[in-house]
């Protein structure tokens, strides 16, 4: 990572802002990689494919994100939509992994 990286409040020009956005995007991708690793772990651990989709857990995760966003002064409804997409993508990924682990051919 570049030594030029600055936090948002310390940026004085658009080059610094863009560098910060790019670095943050790379960090987000690392976190998504870890999150999807948990989906692979869940696919390995769950013995029943029918329990991959858990609507109560999905609602809890989305509500947690919405409430956290609201507390940070971020657009909570839009972030809840992003989390809904994230959770749906995670479920689809976990189902693919569940099937792959049990039918490797």
Q: Where are the domains of the chain?
A: 8-102
Beta carbons of 69 and 63 less than 8 angstroms apart: no
Give, in order, the Cα–Cα distances in Å from 35 to each of 1, 14, 42.
22, 31, 11
Give the whole-angstrom CA distance, residue 68 versus residue 62. Answer: 10
Q: What is the pLDDT of residue 1?
A: 47
pTM: 0.89
- CATH superfamily placement of domain 8-102: Chorismate mutase (1.20.59.10)
Give the whole-angstrom CA distance, residue 51 versus residue 39. Answer: 13
Q: What is the pLDDT of residue 59?
A: 98
Beta carbons of 42 and 60 less than 8 angstroms apart: no
Per-residue pLDDT of the chain (105 residues), as tens digits, is: 456 789 999 999 999 999 999 999 999 999 999 999 999 999 999 999 999 999 999 999 999 999 999 999 999 999 999 999 999 999 999 999 999 999 867
Measured in whole angstroms, how far is the alpha carbon of residue 66 from the centre of its chain?
13
């Amino acid at each position: 990572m570049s030594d030029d990286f600055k936090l948002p409040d310390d940026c004085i020009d658009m080059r610094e802002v863009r560098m910060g956005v790019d670095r943050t995007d790379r960090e987000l991708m690392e976190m998504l990689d870890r999150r999807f690793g948990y989906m692979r772990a869940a696919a390995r651990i769950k013995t029943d494919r029918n329990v991959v989709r858990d609507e109560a857990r999905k609602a809890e995760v989305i509500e947690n994100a919405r409430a956290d966003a609201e507390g940070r002064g971020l657009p909570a409804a839009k972030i809840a939509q992003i989390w809904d997409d994230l959770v749906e993508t995670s479920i689809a990924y976990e189902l693919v992994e569940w099937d792959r682990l049990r039918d490797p051919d």
